[in-house]
Amino acid sequence: SDLPKEKHPQKMLSLDKTKDVEQLKSWLGDKEGVLSWKLDGLTIVLTYEGGKLVNAVTRGNGEIGEVITANARAFSNLPLSIPFKERLVLRGEAVISYPDFEKINETITDEGAKYKNPRNLCSGSVRQLNSAVTAERHVRFYAFALVSADGIEFKERTQQFDWLAEQGFAVVQNKRVTAANMEETVKWFENEIEDNINPSDGLVLSYNDIAYGQSLGTTAKFPRDSIAFKWRDEIKETTLKE
């Protein structure tokens, strides 16, 4: 009647947040960073062994998630078999695109029963007890972090993204960034929002140098190697007539 639970080997912390580009610049300092979409779906941890997907667990509360391996196999773009045969653990976001979200809502005649946003629909689709339903919903997976790949060490996050793409994974769109080009890169993402088919609630900035980021450790709540950037609230005027 429900999904089995599983404890994560290490706690998955949420990211510290800012709405200020200047704060992003000072956070990065003289280091090189990687700026990527913060996709608005459901975070999933995948484990591959012998080139096959053997486990998929939702983030849950950061300590304990739900096992959704059968459903992950039904994601429309997830490779079930990869060239790398050692143990691989990666994290990514499961999302439903706006066009697919709208198509699904069009099939629901009762206005009150329609889904409010793609994130809610995705969460329900990923956590289905029947993976055939997940398959119908066109859930896609975008990798945003390589946790471990036995026998391989990477110096930079961008190398991890390139390697994951070579393995057949869709990776979150990302750009190298410095404090000098931070504003124009954030602006580039901002301009892309209108044509971006995947729901996003901001950006993630990480240090490109993996060892440096790891050396900073974590606070009680946040990792110190990444920070989230949220768009400023859109403010409009309205008139209250009654």
Which residues carry out catalysis?
A: 38
CA atoms of 52 and 86, how far apart (whole Å): 10
Q: Give the residue among 205, 226, 242 at the shortest CA–CA distance from 37.
A: 205
Chain centroid to CA 140: how far?
11
Quickly tell me which residue has 């404090």 as its tokens: 179
Write phi, then psi, for 195 (nearest 5 degrees).
-100, 0
Q: Using CA atoms, how far apart are residues 67 and 114, in angstroms rounded to an integer?
A: 27
What letter would DSSP give residue 112?
G
